[in-house]
Structure formats: C-alpha cells, structure tokens
C-alpha cells in the first residue's frame, strides 16, 4: 500500500559565499531555506524534500514528487521573461534558480501534480502563465499599502480579500484573510491564470490556474501560519497531493 504521506518538493534559495565583507553560512556557495516551510508541510501531513537548482534534473525530480512548493526569496524574476525592455534599479535576479524553478513548474504541470507558489513563486507562476510584473510597487502605485511590512514577518501586515467561488475561497472558507507582506513587486497581469485575492489597494495577492487539480500562487508567506487560512492552504495542497498517491 502506498504511503499516506505525500512527497512534497520544496525549492531552495541560493546564496553567495561569505566573505570578510559579507556574512553567510559558508565561504562556498550555499543553499538556504527557512525551517517553517518544511515544518508546515510536515505538520499538514506531507514529507518535505529540498530541491536544488540543476535544471537538467528537474523532470527526474518531479517524476518522484506528489506536489511542488516554489518558495520566495529576496530576488526577482528577470524582466526579460515577461517582455520588459528595462530593468528597475531595485531588481535583483538569480538566473540559475529561476531557470531551475521554471523547469520544475513545467514538469509539475505536465504531470498534473499540485503546485503552490509563494511570494516570488507566485510571481514566477504568473509570468509562466503569460502575465507580467510591476517591477517596483512604490513607483507604479505610490498610494499603495506598505507591502514590504516594517513589523516582523510572523505578524500580519494587512488583509486580503478572497474572491468568492475560487479554489482559494473553497480552501480557506473565508472572504478575508490577515496576511504578512514582504514584496516590492506585484503581478500586473495574471495571463491565463485568474486572480483569486487582492489587497485593499487592488494589488494582486493570489492567483490560480483553472483546470489544474491544484495550482495556486499567493503573494504572502503562509508558512508562518498567521491565520487559520494559511494552514488550510497547505492542508489543501497535501490533500491534493495525497490523491496522486492513491
């Protein structure tokens, strides 16, 4: 009998070697992830496994997974991927990571396994769906909320309004969620995905792909478990992944 604990791949961040002028875990390139990503998946009944950035292995990795979580990080999707000719001064990219995550998402979609994109992971999903990004919220929307919140990330930064009738709404069972906020970019257009949550200022906060068993991206970081809806989102991912195992 197959395990009831589905295997969930979690993408890693990559960091430069530590130097005399730059602190870090190692003087060699290193991968990084916050413990709460893995802890939340485990608490919701999944078996989390970390995924490196070798794009040539993406299909082989996904072939063994029951679900995929594309995490966030302090970097941006390269603007050329969504047809932008200019790059804002604030934009920082990690091309090797983005190439690997793009291939992982392609493979996960081809297999029809559940996908959860978080923060930058949501933005990459939108771009892959044919959408584009606002490169720096304060420049484009000067009256917007503070989406890079000043208070700790394990506290709420603002609320989001969940669109009725969406997959996200069915999962969380609420029309409004308190969320944290740690991003300077935003989805300007979701392409063939649909918007399923927005901030009070109109900034896109969640997207989903109709027709896919579970393909949701959220702009906040639900691994912190700020509201009951955060855990319900992960439980929904694990439940969908469990169906792959049966």
H runs (alpha helix) in the chain: 35-43, 58-63, 95-111, 120-128, 137-140, 167-172, 228-245
Is residue 44 within 8 A of residue 75, CB to CB? The reply is: no
Q: Give CB contacts under 8 A, 24+ apart, made by 13-20.
A: 13/71, 13/73, 13/74, 13/75, 13/94, 13/97, 14/53, 14/94, 14/96, 14/97
d(CA 204, CA 196): 8
- Is 44 part of the annotated catalytic residue set? no
State CA 188 to chain mean position distance.
16
- Is 196 part of the annotated catalytic residue set? no
From 101, 205, 208, 223, the catalytic residue: 223
From 119, 147, 167, 183, the catalytic residue: 119
- Is 15 part of the annotated catalytic residue set? no
Q: In terms of Cα–Cα distance, which of 192, 200, 234 is closest to 214?
A: 234
Count of other CB atoms within 10 angstroms of residue 17: 12
From 53, 167, 183, 221, the catalytic residue: 221
Is residue 133 within 8 A of residue 185, CB to CB? The reply is: yes
Which residues belong to the active site?
119, 221, 223
């Amino acid at each position: 009998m197959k395990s009831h604990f589905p295997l969930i791949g979690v993408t890693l961040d990559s960091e430069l070697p530590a130097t005399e002028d730059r602190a870090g875990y190692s003087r060699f390139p290193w991968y990084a992830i916050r413990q709460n990503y893995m802890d939340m998946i485990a608490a919701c009944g999944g078996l989390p496994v970390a995924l490196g950035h070798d794009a040539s292995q993406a299909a082989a990795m996904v072939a063994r997974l029951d679900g995929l979580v594309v995490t966030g990080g302090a970097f941006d999707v390269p603007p050329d991927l969504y047809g932008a000719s200019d790059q804002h001064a604030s934009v920082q990219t990690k091309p090797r990571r983005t190439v690997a995550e793009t291939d992982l998402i392609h493979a996960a979609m081809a297999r029809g396994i559940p996908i959860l994109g978080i923060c930058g992971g949501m933005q990459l999903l939108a771009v892959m769906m044919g959408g584009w990004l606002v490169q720096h919220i304060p420049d484009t929307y000067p009256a917007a909320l503070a989406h890079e919140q000043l208070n700790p990330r394990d506290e709420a930064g603002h609320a989001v309004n969940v669109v009725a009738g969406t997959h996200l709404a069915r999962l969380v069972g609420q029309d409004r969620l308190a969320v944290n906020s740690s991003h300077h970019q935003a989805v300007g257009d979701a392409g063939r995905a649909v918007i399923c949550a927005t901030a009070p200022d109109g900034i896109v906060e969640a997207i989903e792909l109709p027709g896919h068993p579970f393909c949701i991206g959220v702009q906040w970081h639900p691994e912190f478990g700020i509201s009951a809806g955060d855990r319900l989102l992960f439980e929904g991912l694990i439940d969908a992944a469990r169906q792959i195992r049966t």
